[in-house]
Amino acid sequence: MSSTGRRRNDRKDKSGWWRCEAGRRRHGLWMMVVKTKDYPTSVIQMSPFRWITWQECYTDLGVLYWQLNPKDYENDEELKKIREARGYNYMDLLDLCPEKVANYEEKLKNFYTEHIHADEEIRYCLEGSGYFDIRDKGDRWIRIWIRAGDLIVLPAGIYHRFTLDTSNYVKLMRLFVGEPVWTPYNRPQEDHPARTKYVKSLAEKVGTALEAY
C-alpha cells in the first residue's frame, strides 16, 4: 500500500474547503480541518494536504487494518485466521442506509457524536463506503475512508465518530469478543478506565499486529 499520494484532482469548492475527487485514493486516510460539523459526508482535508499511512495509524494510535476479499467473506481463510487469533467469536451484519434503518438521521447523528467505547470497535466493510474519524495525539482529526474490503480495528478508549459519505450506503460486518456491547461514552471521558488505559498504551505500545498495517 502506497504511503504517498498526489493531488491530481484536488479542488476548492465555493466555500473554500479542500476536497478531492472520489476514486483516486487507495489508502484512504488524511488529516482533516477541524470545522466538519456542517460537512459530515464531505472529503474534507487540511491545506496544505497531508496523507496519513496505515503504518502511522498503527504505530502512533494503535489502529489496525487489513484488506480482505469482501465477495467471499463467508469462506475467507484470512478473515477466519484474524477472528481466531483475536477472539472475535461474535459476528453480525449491518446495512446502513435510509431504506433499511429506522430513525436513520437520528442514528447517524449519534454515530457522528465524538465518543469512546470500553472495548475495541471492529468493522469490516463489505459494500458501500463511509468515514471513521479518529483523534491523533495532538487531538486533530484523521479521516479514514473505508470501502469494500477494508477491515479496521479501533482500540478501546480512542476518541472517534462515524458517518456515511455521499453514497449514503454501507454494509458492515461487526465483530466482537463475547457478547457485544455497543455503549458509546461521549466526550469528555478522560477518567474512563478505557481512556486512561489507551492513553497510557500510546507510550508503552510494543510489538506488531497480525500481518496488519
Tell whether 117 is in a known binding site. yes
Tell whether 192 is in a known binding site. no
By CB atoms closer than 10 A (0-12, 13-18, 19+), residue 165 is buried
By CB atoms closer than 10 A (0-12, 13-18, 19+), residue 142 is buried
Instruction: Return all residues near 179 (Cβ < 8 A) that are at least 6 apart.
Output: 90
Which cell is 9 given? 484532482
Listed residue (74, 113, 108) closest to 91, CA to CA? 74
Tell whether 77 is in a known binding site. no
Which cell is 28 given? 484512504
Q: Are 148 and 181 in contact (CB under 8 A)?
A: no
Binding residue ranges for Ni(2+): 115, 117, 121, 160
Binding residue ranges: 115, 117, 121, 160
Binding residue ranges for Fe(2+): 115, 117, 121, 160
